[in-house]
Structure formats: C-alpha cells, structure tokens
Amino acid sequence: MTQLVRLVRMPWVPRPACARALAIVLCLTLVPAASATAQRWRDTTDAGPAERALFRLEADFARAVIDRDAAALRRIVAPQWVYSDESGTMSRDEGIAAFTAGADTVQEAGNEQMRAIVYGNTAVVTGVLWMRGRGARGPFRNRYRYTDTWLRMDGRWRCIASQDYLMPRER
C-alpha cells in the first residue's frame, strides 16, 4: 500500500487529502465493477431468457440421468465435454456411460441454488444437485455441488465441462 500511495501521491496535496482522494478513486473504480458483476449473477427467481434456458437444460440433464437416457445426454453435452469429480476426470463417452450404466439407480433428482452467469455465447451455471436412489450398498441420498460450463454452438447451448463433488452429510 505504501508503494501505491507513493505512486499516486501528488506533492502539492497534503498527505491526508491524498489518502482521501485515493480512497475515493478506488471506490469509484471498484464499486461499479463489482456491482456490474453482481448484477450478472442471477438465480431462478430473476432469470432472463438465456438463464431460463440453461436452468431447463440442467433439469433435462438430471432427468436424463434418472432415465439413463444416453441419447439425451449426447444432445446436452458437447462432443469434447469433460467431466470431473472427486474420483478423477472422464471423457464424454466415459461420463455418459457412468451416468447411464453404473450400479446406482437414480430414482429422483433435482437442482437447487442454481445461479447462472452469461458471457455472450458462454455461460457458467453453479448449483446443488440432489439425488435419491438405490446402489450396491442400499438406498442413498446424495447432494453434489457443481459447476457446469456451457457454450452456445450452432444456435443451442451445449455443456462443455462439468465438475461436481459429493457434499458432506449435514449433521
């Protein structure tokens, strides 16, 4: 901070006035930028058309997992889609196989706390996916925090990368 003040310090302005001027300049610079970024983040209650389309696609993604619908997943994810979780990284084909042919049977799933930010033809959606079903060890109820990255390709949104992790159980 001392170096910054030296760079900005104007010799003809008394030191307290210089510090005040620097604080004002920083506020005028940073607050509008933070505000603009915050306004881009929207949840499901205040969503524009792009965000609503992305939220529908997230719901379709969950439905495809429940239905073990590989064709629907191939429509949703891009050809070079990559998936990662606490067990590692998977290619598109490996990820689709894991969701549609694994030992777990998902009976119910849904999204909560979704937020979307759209940058032109690219978007990021974060949220919590909950799943209920049955696996090799019996019934399960899991929650996953996720980040999906979407790209508008050939006039439609396609998921290009997904990352999630199993959230710890609430006590």
Q: What is the mean pLDDT of residues 91-116?
A: 93
Distance CA 101, CA 106 (A): 11
Strand order in the sheet with 138-153: 42-43, 105-119, 122-135, 138-153, 156-166, 77-85, 88-90
Whether 82 and 157 share a structural domain: yes
Whether 114 and 149 share a structural domain: yes
DSSP string, 31-100: HHHHHHHHHH-EETTS--HHHHHHHHHHHHHHHHHHHT-HHHHHHHEEEEEEEEETTEEE-HHHHHHHHH
Domain span holding position 32: 2-40
Average pLDDT, the chain: 80
Number of domains in the chain: 2
Whether 80 and 119 share a structural domain: yes
Predicted pLDDT of residue 47: 76
Nearest to 149 by CA among 59, 62, 83: 83
User: pLDDT confidence of 104, banded at 50, 70, 90?
Assistant: confident
The H or E element that residue 144 is part of is: strand 138-153
Q: Are 132 and 140 in contact (CB under 8 A)?
A: yes
Pairing of strands 88-90, 105-119: unpaired
Whether 107 and 123 share a structural domain: yes
Whether 32 and 48 share a structural domain: no
Nearest to 146 by CA among 165, 121, 124, 160: 165
Distance CA 125, CA 51 (A): 9
- Answering whether pTM is above 0.75, one says no
Q: Kindly state whether residue 171 falls inside one of the protein's structural domains.
A: no
Whether 135 and 81 share a structural domain: yes
Predicted pLDDT of residue 103: 83
Q: Kindly state whether residue 117 falls inside one of the protein's structural domains.
A: yes
Whether 105 and 146 share a structural domain: yes
Pairing of strands 42-43, 77-85: unpaired
Whether 27 and 54 share a structural domain: no
Q: Kindly state whether residue 150 falls inside one of the protein's structural domains.
A: yes
CATH of residue 133: 3.10.450.50
**Structure tokens, 20:** 């005040």
Whether 6 and 25 share a structural domain: yes
Q: Kindly state whether residue 145 falls inside one of the protein's structural domains.
A: yes
User: What is the CB neighbour count within 10 angstroms for residue 125?
Assistant: 24
Whether 36 and 47 share a structural domain: no
Q: Kindly state whether residue 53 falls inside one of the protein's structural domains.
A: yes
Whether 24 and 68 share a structural domain: no
Predicted pLDDT of residue 45: 55
Whether 109 and 125 share a structural domain: yes
